Copies of this chain bind each other. A is one copy, B any other.
Amino acid sequence: MNIHEFLASPPEASKRTGPHDRIVLSSRVRLARNLRGMSFPGWAKKPERIKALETVRPAVESLEQMSEAFSESMDNLTALDKQILVERHLISREHAAKNAGSGLVLNREESLCVMINEEDHLRMQSLRPGLQIKEAWQAIDQIDSLVEKKLDYAFSPTLGYLTACPTNLGTGIRVSAMLHLPALVISEQINQIIQAVNKLGLAVRGLYGEGTEALGNVFQVSNQMTLGELETDIVERLNKVLAQLIEHEENGRASLLENKPKVVFNQIGRAYGILANAHSISSKETMNLLSLFRLGIDLGLFPGTARSLVDELFLITQPAHLQRNYSEKLSADERDLLRSDMLRERLRSVSRPHTVPATPTSSKLDKPTE
């Protein structure tokens, strides 16, 4: 199977489960690294970028962890392939715009992904379902040590790892988690929470990172500082904040269910009703309604329906994932029709919400470990 076939087949990663995946969709750690003595990708002329790519790529390919990986030059990927990679959060939008001189090494589990010549020569990422930032850190730390044996990293004894943008200088680490926080949004606590998290030196962003909207009540929380702190301390600090956010969201859900059950049932019921019966629906509306449907599953309103159904739909209703099923280029209007067809079909077997929850919420049972 080549990468085109891989990206055209149903995504498996969305079906994997992890700790606290009621609220934490995924964890990620990425490291920014550069080659000593070579211009950063944004400054390098094309021959120099190609030279960097040709240096980095075999070093990454030769890792045992990448033995079955896809290794691609970005110009070998179609626009659709790239868009699918973005929708799966495997590459950045910026990297999707790259062509010859940039590359990608991705393992089949989609748990390791290295972007070559994105903003830095290397952006190495480890991804895990649920709350597993420690595990993600350990995995990428191991990769980094192995790569460092093969490549001469740009490193300053005083500053640490050198990076194209000073915001990554030092450790080059960005630890992040995707959180599903519908209760904090519905109860209008989210802005206050975001401010509090910001004061702890962490950034809160939308679904596709910096400057994007929080579609589907999904928020990305990550460290801001990369300098003057140990990687393990950064991981530890984020872990603590995430544990608190999980608790806030769980408390928010319990409180909504106790104090405003009708508001919750109304939003979830309408979301389900529209998802199961619309004949045209945009990607944005879909995400926002799927978020409420996911909350309904978490609250026990859809007994027998697995959370993974929503997580898969969240992915496969996005534009490029929809397009990959069709040979002709679809317009946005056509996608809206096909998206609604897919949703109606997949929700056909899901019964109307049991608005007296079948089971109590697991908020008390499902506390994060620290």
Let me know if A278 and B274 touch, CB within 8 A: no
Interface size on A, residues (CB 8 A): 22
Contacts of A279 in B (CB 8 A): 262, 265-266, 269, 355
A272 to B280, Cβ gap below 8 A?
no
| Chain B residues, CB < 8 A from A160 | none
For A340, the chain B residues whose CB sits under 8 A away are 266
Answer whether residue A277 sits at the interface, using C-beta atoms and an 8 A cutoff: yes
* Residues on the B chain within 8 Å of A270, using CB: 273-274, 277-278
Highest count of chain B CB atoms <10 Å: which of A270, A275, A337, A344: A270
- Residues in chain B near residue A277, CB distance under 8 A: 269-270, 272-273, 352-353
A276 within 8 A of B: yes
A322-350 interface bits toward B, Cβ cutoff 8 Å, 1 = contact, 0 = none: 00000000000000010010001000100
Residues of B with C-beta under 8 A to A344 = 269
Residues in B with CB closer than 8 Å to A265 are: 279
Contact of A262 among B262, B272, B274, B280 (CB under 8 A): B280
| Complexed CA–CA distance, A266 and B272 (Å) | 14
Residues on B with C-beta less than 8 A from A275 are 273
CA gap between A258 and B355 in the complex, in Å: 38
CB neighbours (8 Å) of A337 from chain B are 262
Complex Cα distance, B269 from A233, in Å, reads: 52
CA distance A132 to B274 in the complex (A): 38
Q: Which B residues are in CB contact (< 8 Å) with A272?
A: 273, 277
Binding site for B on A (CB under 8 A): 262-263, 265-266, 269-270, 272-280, 337, 340, 344, 348, 352-353, 355
Given A266-B278, A270-B274, A277-B353, 16 more contacts at CB 8 Å? A262-B279, A262-B280, A263-B280, A265-B279, A266-B279, A266-B280, A266-B340, A269-B277, A273-B273, A273-B275, A273-B276, A273-B277, A273-B278, A274-B274, A277-B352, A279-B355
Listed by A's residue number, 8 A-B pairs whose Cβ atoms lie within 8 Å are A262-B280, A265-B279, A269-B278, A269-B344, A270-B274, A273-B276, A277-B352, A277-B353
